[in-house]
Structure 1
Amino acid sequence: MRALLFLCVLLSSHAWAGLLWHSNNQLNDAGQTLQQLLLPDSSINAMSTAERDAWFTRQWRTVLKNRERFAQYTLPEHWRTQGFERAMAQHTLAGYMRGQVPDYHGYRALHQHYQQLGQGPDYTPLPPGPEVRMNERDPAIVALRTRLTELGQPAPAPLGRTDVLDTALAGRLKQLQQAGGLETSGSLDAATRALLNRSPAELRAEIKINLQRWLLLPPATEDYVLINIPSYRLTLVRGGRPTLAMPVIVGRPDWPTPELATYLGALKVNPDWTPTANIIREDLLPAQQQDGGFLDRNGFNVWLPGQRTPVPPSAINWQQPPPGLRLVQQPGPANALGQLKFEMQNRFSVYLHDTPDKTLFRRDQRALSHGCVRLSEPQALATGIGWALPEHGRTQLLPPPQRLPVYMVYFTTWMDGRSLMFAHDIYRKNRT
């Protein structure tokens, strides 16, 4: 009997020795940290301990693989798969996992809101009804004020009756509508009701997706540029605090701006522009075929294979253009890149740049580009980073004043102070 008992204990110890995230059938310190990062649903409770442990390992390896794909440069070892392998070999997973928690205020605030929603907060749905316009009365407005407070966005004090959609409350709705990619009418319409009427469970599901996106970001630094693609917004962070924010234009749904981390390279002043073959094929060639003077008026030259000098567009038969031609738009007021191009190393060949068409920034929904990010205030960004802009108009390449990270992220919900904000899922990534 003693021998049998000893054998059972020995086999049990060998079984536990093969687990990374569990000890004595419970999550160990490393496993608890990983669970807080992955936020798995209750379905994992139906797994055996060994199955659940293996599931955690697969999920974490997927995070590391996605993180390495997100970064357009070599990450520190502890942020890559090699760091995980080392921690396993040295039996230091608990400390390793504590170091994997994103050290960003935005992550911590969103994670806290996620936990609070799981504690069963009050939920006041908005009753169905017709569109309520500014200065109109409706019983739904009383519920709207309560619902905004539950979302961490206390409604402004009523200017009169509590059931009136007054100007102050309409202004708050406009902020929500703009962030959510809706028409900024200030009215309580069907789309705005749907945005606000999501249950705590639905909100938690979207927050969870966004918390997992935070795991891709490299270790926090004091200075960086953050571009949130679905909110059409760039923020320059200095010393850990936002110092500049501006509207931007991002890629169309059929030509999306990629999520990535990289560093700002050179600043090209008065740049020329060499469009890609697919931009030529899908945009420029049809425009030229419809209007024979389009390329000439907009300052393009044509480079043919094997030739050392360009020819004007008027020299080409655009109904049957020669294969392999290359277009280059000269610097100037009509140049698609405007006056400034912020170059950055990445496999997607995207960059930040100025644009001559400033009217597009007045639109609420600005997924309009071929993947690159157009800036509403490029000069302010350049000087905020530390570049001194030259006054003369020749093309120049200015080296970066510092190695400044750029994070292009896809956050459809985030915390603004104590308020939960939303952005429209322009690329439908939350549904995958």
Structure 2
Amino acid sequence: MNQLNWLAKLTFTLRAGCGALALAGLMAVPNVAFANETDNKEAAQEAIDSVEPILSYETSYNLIAAIKRYEQIVANGGWEEMTRGSYGLEKGDDRGHVRALRRRLIASGDLEDTGRLSSEFDDELDAALRQFQARHGLQLTGLIDQETYLTLNIPAETKLAQLRLNLERVNQVVGELSTRYIVVNIPAASIEAVENGVVERRHTAIVGRIDRQTPILTSKVHEINFNPYWHVPKSIIRRDIIKYMNQDPEYLTNYRIKIYDANGEELDPQSIDWSTEEAVQYAFRQEPGAENSMGHVKINFHNPHAVYLHDTPQKSLFGQNRRFHSSGCVRVENVDELVSWLLRENETDWSLPSVDAAFDSGERMDVGLEKPVPIITTYITAWANRDGVVSFRNDIYGYDEAGRVDFASN
């Protein structure tokens, strides 16, 4: 099976159910015993956190080093496949399958090779497994759950192909980066706010689902809309609102969405035939407020796809592992902090308390950025930091499988 097709198969299965580095030390975990689960989770998260942006010359260098390391792994035969008997392994277990897990994590550099292969699932192994999970964007459970099991069994050859493909993607754009910019990495469903080559803020995001993908683009954030109206796209009227109205005739009323004809006259929802697509010819606008789909703020940048960044009333979605729920736009966790960062160079004070006060006021207000900030939405499924820790994400849109590198047409 083609290496990247293997990764696509994994994705399908889951949908259903700066300095020089010695290659030998790439991705190695410090030989430290952690006191408890909380320590192990924090250490795993710290291992992948880095001030280097995903899009940077430094990441390009780090990827080259990672590729050399994975070439070594492949040349050494890769790693063994975990059997079904390893499913459900967790700290405290003491059986033969634990040895196989140790060999697997040693092969990928998550666990230090001390020359012993104990069958006990101890604290050291728990720390290594949580780092593996962190590197792959999985929940830090310390348990061989379904996603962890499947991810452990992705062949080393597939990982190497991913690294090579993503090096091309990074190199394609790094020469165009400015001093200050934000990056939305779609496969990781995350946002970086970068200045002078350093990540100053990271935000968890929610991006477009597979059938309504967030587009790859480059633009500039030019305006912040506080407490905005939501003008419902016709695609959502057609795909969603008609369906919801057939299920619940009070849906529009409950969510404070009003309908207007071509003359700006408000229409009664009951006057529309919801068994047809009549509704698509009208304008739908949701009022500002707690139910508004954009929450307290919309972050605007010019693009032909009518997408933007925004707040959301559905905060619980940020806690999910697979955050591909939107219709193409990008929802931002702790969006008030990103707004304050974007408006930092305006003469008016837009410190975090000022942004939060604007949210709480409920007042409609548009604020332009006196210095527009570049924004890049990109598709990076593999990257590495200066400590040699290599991160991977699933090929959610199938771009790796298709070998897509040049996104200029988007």
TM-score of the pair, normalised by structure 1:
0.69
Alignment partner, residue 430 of structure 1: 400
Alignment partner, residue 372 of structure 2: 403
Asked whether the equivalents of residues 234 and 280 of structure 2 are also in contact (C-alpha less than 8 Å), the reply is no
Pick one of 287, 302, 309 that aligns with 1:330.
287
Asked whether the equivalents of residues 204 and 318 of structure 2 are also in contact (C-alpha less than 8 Å), the reply is yes
Matched, 1:420 2:394: no
1:138-195 Cα shifts (integer Å, max 9, x gaps): 34434544543543434699xx994333456435534544653656542235653443
Pick one of 59, 82, 93 that aligns with 1:106.
59
* AA aligned opposite 1:164: E
Alignment partner, residue 162 of structure 2: 206
Matched, 1:136 2:93: yes
Matched, 1:238 2:195: yes
* AA aligned opposite 1:430: D
In structure 1, distance between residues paired with 2:272 and 2:208: 30
Asked whether the equivalents of residues 130 and 140 of structure 2 are also in contact (C-alpha less than 8 Å), the reply is yes
Asked whether the equivalents of residues 59 and 384 of structure 2 are also in contact (C-alpha less than 8 Å), the reply is yes
Asked whether the equivalents of residues 126 and 140 of structure 1 are also in contact (C-alpha less than 8 Å), the reply is no
List aligned pairs for 1:53-202, cutoff 5 A.
Answer: 104-119=57-72, 122=76, 123-130=78-85, 131=87, 132-154=89-111, 162-166=118-122, 169-170=125-126, 172-174=128-130, 176-177=132-133, 180=136, 185-189=141-145, 191-202=147-158
In structure 2, distance between residues paired with 1:419 and 1:297: 48
Pick one of 213, 216, 222 that aligns with 1:265.
222
* Structure 1 residues 169 and 400: CA distance shift in structure 2, 3 A: farther
State the Cα distance separating 1:206 from its structure 2 match.
1.2
In structure 1, distance between residues paired with 2:211 and 2:65: 35
Task: Report SS of the residue matched to 1:227.
Answer: strand
State the Cα distance separating 1:235 from its structure 2 match.
1.4
1:355-410 Cα shifts (integer Å, max 9, x gaps): 00101111111110001110111001111223512533221111114232212111
State the Cα distance separating 1:237 from its structure 2 match.
1.4
Asked whether the equivalents of residues 193 and 199 of structure 2 are also in contact (C-alpha less than 8 Å), the reply is yes
* Structure 1 residues 323 and 209: CA distance shift in structure 2, 3 A: closer
Asked whether the equivalents of residues 353 and 374 of structure 1 are also in contact (C-alpha less than 8 Å), the reply is yes
* AA aligned opposite 2:384: M
Task: Report SS of the residue matched to 2:232.
Answer: coil
In structure 1, distance between residues paired with 2:113 and 2:331: 34
Matched, 1:247 2:204: yes
State the Cα distance separating 1:134 from its structure 2 match.
2.9
State the Cα distance separating 1:333 from its structure 2 match.
0.7
Task: Report SS of the residue matched to 1:134.
Answer: coil
Asked whether the equivalents of residues 152 and 420 of structure 1 are also in contact (C-alpha less than 8 Å), the reply is no
Asked whether the equivalents of residues 253 and 427 of structure 1 are also in contact (C-alpha less than 8 Å), the reply is yes
In structure 1, distance between residues paired with 2:123 and 2:271: 59
* AA aligned opposite 2:324: A
* Structure 1 residues 278 and 135: CA distance shift in structure 2, 3 A: same
Asked whether the equivalents of residues 207 and 331 of structure 2 are also in contact (C-alpha less than 8 Å), the reply is yes
Asked which structure has the greater CA Rg, the reply is 1
Asked whether the equivalents of residues 221 and 240 of structure 1 are also in contact (C-alpha less than 8 Å), the reply is no
Gaps of 5+ in 2: 1-54, 345-349, 403-410
Asked whether the equivalents of residues 222 and 300 of structure 2 are also in contact (C-alpha less than 8 Å), the reply is yes
Alignment partner, residue 16 of structure 2: none
1:98-140 Cα shifts (integer Å, max 9, x gaps): xxxx852111101221133334665442553411233212344
* Structure 1 residues 223 and 155: CA distance shift in structure 2, 3 A: farther
Alignment partner, residue 25 of structure 1: none
In structure 2, distance between residues paired with 1:129 and 1:137: 16
In structure 2, distance between residues paired with 1:323 and 1:194: 43
Asked whether the equivalents of residues 338 and 353 of structure 1 are also in contact (C-alpha less than 8 Å), the reply is yes
Task: Percent identity, please.
Answer: 26
* AA aligned opposite 2:364: T
Pick one of 274, 278, 287 that aligns with 1:318.
274
In structure 2, distance between residues paired with 1:386 and 1:155: 45
Alignment partner, residue 303 of structure 2: 346
TM-score of the pair, normalised by structure 2:
0.72
1:31-68 Cα shifts (integer Å, max 9, x gaps): xxxxxxxxxxxxxxxxxxxxxxxxxxxxxxxxxxxxxx
* Structure 1 residues 205 and 162: CA distance shift in structure 2, 3 A: same
1:184-238 Cα shifts (integer Å, max 9, x gaps): 5422356534433444433221111111211332523332211111111111112
Gaps of 5+ in 1: 1-101
In structure 1, distance between residues paired with 2:337 and 2:182: 13
In structure 1, distance between residues paired with 2:82 and 2:267: 65
Question: Which of the pair has the greater relative contact order for Cα pairs under 8 Å at 6+ separation?
Answer: 2
In structure 1, distance between residues paired with 2:132 and 2:216: 24
